Amino acid sequence: MILPFFVIIPLACAFLISLLGKLNKRISDIFANLGTFTLLILSLSAIRYQLFAKVIVYRVGGWPPPIGISMVLDGLSSFILMSVNLVSFLVCLYSVSYMNKYTDKYRFHSLFMLMLAGMNGVIVTGDLFNLFVFLEIASISSYALVAFGTEAEELEASFKYAIMGSVASSFILLGIALLYSYTSTLNMADMGSVLLSRGNSLLVNFISVLFLMGFGLKAALVPFHAWLPDAHPSAPASISAMLSGVLIKVLGVYALMRIYFNILGINNIILSIFMFLGAASMLVGVILALGQWDFKRLLAYHSISQIGYIILGIGLGSPLGILAGLFHLFNHSIFKSLLFLNSGAVAYRLGTRDLQDMGGLKERMPTTANTNLVASLSIAGIPPFNGFFSKFLIIVACIQSRQIIYGICAVIASILTLASFMKVQKYAFFGKLNKKWQDIKEVPGIMQLSMVVLAVLCLVSALLITPLFKPYLESAVNVLLLGRGYNKAVFGALK
């Protein structure tokens, strides 16, 4: 049984690092990298397990569900686990050199592993309250990580993020309490079948609004997005890559999908709300990004915009739309973490995030400039790279479902994204070299390595849509299309 190890390994690493990290500086690096590497291997082997036996259920403590807590691995969880653990491994590799400029590096690694434990827990759990606990583990460690630099701006951003995140968590807990009182079970599969037999009621609608508020805030959808542009740029670059790359997707988008499709049951009203919020996030995010001169803040606004694409794709509700949304989720986690790592590399040598202050860095930092070019082309949707295929599929799915207006919104947002990244390229990497930066060097090798790997992945992950790998993506889509049949899949796997 590999399922519990997704939580046990990062938790054990966090514990050991905080215990032994003080003794030697290298210990925390070794433990954290070994831990994330093992998790990457485990999530690769989870694909194989999952393809053999569609759904795997692990009973925590030997108690059978619905009484005990269960952990469930199906197509969707294995897909999201893969993207989380891939990004976290590369980011952990990057922070070996990058985090040297901060003191107390072992505390950083300890919190990082704790956040990873929370995210993996949210993905594999099959119990609604357990999901809340893991969500809070991931959130609390991310509040602490945003404030890691303890400068004035970082503390302010972390305070804002912590207050909004905690209010969102309270809404989620209230929703769980109401749902428990209505169904008297906490197992997600069982809850789905009880709700199916009771039919729809006003209380269920109220609960879905509570969850939309709570998880929508965690996902930074547009009316709830105010914390993201402060919190994500303030964190150290490797943490920004984790927050924008995977955290908002796991705590927000994944939880939304799982709860709405498999537990509460999806209907046209919720789908149209998703589509509207997605389109609004897409446009508002990208328009706000156009005027930014702070490199990381610009990227943070683009995160809002790209989350809009994902939610729009999923909100279409058609098989192609969900497939495109999930595909974009994976692609976005790759190129957005690469962009944040690039901004970290620039800040590592220059110490500034202001685009107007840079210029001509291509001569001095060729690896950073080239990988950034690849990532910018991916996010803007230029053909050979992965971003093109997923955006194109989203637009095709919009037209297929006769949502022409949303399709046009997606095209406009894509053009504006391209404009905004042309600005980044022009001011930061092309043009004349600023006199101040005459004798800067390229970043250390290990940081270059992880950026190059991510850039290669930008190209390679476009293959996910080819017939060879498509069944993997489709097995994730099928879980969502199954709806409340999730119950049968989970309890069928127990027999």
Which residues touch 405 (CB under 8 Å, ≥6 apart)?
none
Angstrom CA distances, 211 to 119, 123, 345, 449, stand at 18, 17, 38, 40
CA distance 484 to 193: 7
Nearest alpha carbon to residue 335 among 456, 179, 211? 456
- Comparing CB distances to another protein, the nearer of 181 and 197 is 181
CB of 159 to another protein, least distance (A): 5
CB of 152 to another protein, least distance (A): 4
Q: Which residues, listed in sequence order, are joined to residue 72 by a DSSP beta bridge?
A: 57
CB of 7 to another protein, least distance (A): 16
- Comparing CB distances to another protein, the nearer of 188 and 361 is 188
CA distance 307 to 219: 8
CB of 174 to another protein, least distance (A): 5
- Comparing CB distances to another protein, the nearer of 293 and 469 is 293
- Comparing CB distances to another protein, the nearer of 353 and 391 is 353
Category of 354 on φ-ψ map: left (φ > 0), alpha (ψ -120 to 50) or beta: beta
Binding positions for another protein, rule: CB under 8 A: 129, 132-133, 136, 140, 143-144, 147, 150-153, 155-160, 162-163, 166-167, 169-170, 173-174, 177, 180-181, 186, 229-230, 234, 288, 291-292, 294, 297
- Comparing CB distances to another protein, the nearer of 150 and 200 is 150
CB of 113 to another protein, least distance (A): 17
Contact 270, 260 (CB under 8 A): yes
CA distance 188 to 98: 40
CB of 419 to another protein, least distance (A): 18
- The DSSP code for 464 is G
Nearest alpha carbon to residue 443 among 358, 348, 351, 361? 348
- Comparing CB distances to another protein, the nearer of 174 and 412 is 174
CB of 235 to another protein, least distance (A): 13
- Comparing CB distances to another protein, the nearer of 292 and 450 is 292
- DSSP H stretches of helix in 125-227: 128-146, 152-183, 188-198, 202-219
Category of 220 on φ-ψ map: left (φ > 0), alpha (ψ -120 to 50) or beta: left
